[in-house]
Amino acid sequence: MNIVILLGAPGSGKGTVAGRLASEHDNLRHVSSGDLLRGAVAKGTAAGQEAKGYMDAGKLVPDALIATMIKDVVAETTGDVTMLLDGFPRNVAQAEILAEMGAPVTGAVLLDVADEVIFDRIAGRRTCPKCKAGYHVKNLPPKVEGICDKCGEKLTIRKDDNPETVKDRLVVYHQQTEPLIAYYRERNLLKTVPGVGDLSAIVANVLAVL
């Protein structure tokens, strides 16, 4: 197993692109730190209870909390697969933890999207709480309004997708996550893909650099 990290601002399309790639290619797995955490919150586990306040405020949860979850998934994943890691690492300390986990990081793909675009994207975002599929009311609407194409569940708006929290999430991204661009560039692992325009083209461009 090897790992390719997806970097990019909240709403840059990491989950959408990785979800699509994983559904189209048997050897690709999508692992989203946000989905793992929201799953823990929904289940009410101890980790979920600890994480909830940070997530609702748009802050990062403690490194050790999310690192433990990622470690478990990495340990469970074997064979000839590439893990598309979406949302982890989120700061340099987490990148160091990941480097020590054993599985080789063979690339870091930055989905490049300007902040102005992010607000509109997140404002229109709808999420399937069951299968985690993502939609946008204008750019990527489901076939039936408010209903997930894949599993028929009612779509929801994430609690941290309100404009105030999005602003805070972008500040956190620029301060804490953006230094990872230089971190992976220095290690010759960084690939940058424009994250705007036709979704199929973005997906194809990411696949081409994996």
Contacts to ligand ATP by CB under 6 A: 10-11, 14-15, 33-34, 37, 54-55, 58-61, 66, 87-88, 90, 94, 160, 169
Indicate if 169 belongs to the active site: yes
CB nearer Mg ion, residue 5 or residue 79: 5
Q: CA geometry: angle at 63 spanning 58 and 66, to 5°? A: 80
From the candidates 29, 125, 126, 132, which is the catalytic residue? 125
CB nearer ligand ATP, residue 82 or residue 177: 177
Binding Mg ion (rule: CB under 5 A), the pick from 8, 11, 13, 34 is 34
CB nearer ligand ATP, residue 15 or residue 48: 15
Least Å distance, CB 17 to ligand ATP, is: 10
From the candidates 14, 29, 38, 121, which is the catalytic residue? 14
Q: Taking the CA atoms of the chain, what radius of gyration do you get in angstroms?
A: 16
Indicate if 158 belongs to the active site: yes
CB nearer Mg ion, residue 34 or residue 107: 34
Least Å distance, CB 132 to Mg ion, is: 9
Binding Mg ion (rule: CB under 5 A), the pick from 8, 15, 89, 195 is 15
Q: Which does 33 bind (CB under 5 to 8 A by kind): Mg ion, ligand ATP, none?
A: ligand ATP
Q: Is 195 a binder of Mg ion (CB under 5 A)? A: no
Indicate if 14 belongs to the active site: yes
CB 153 within 8 A of CB 128: yes
Give the interface with Mg ion as residue ranges (CB under 5 A). 15, 34
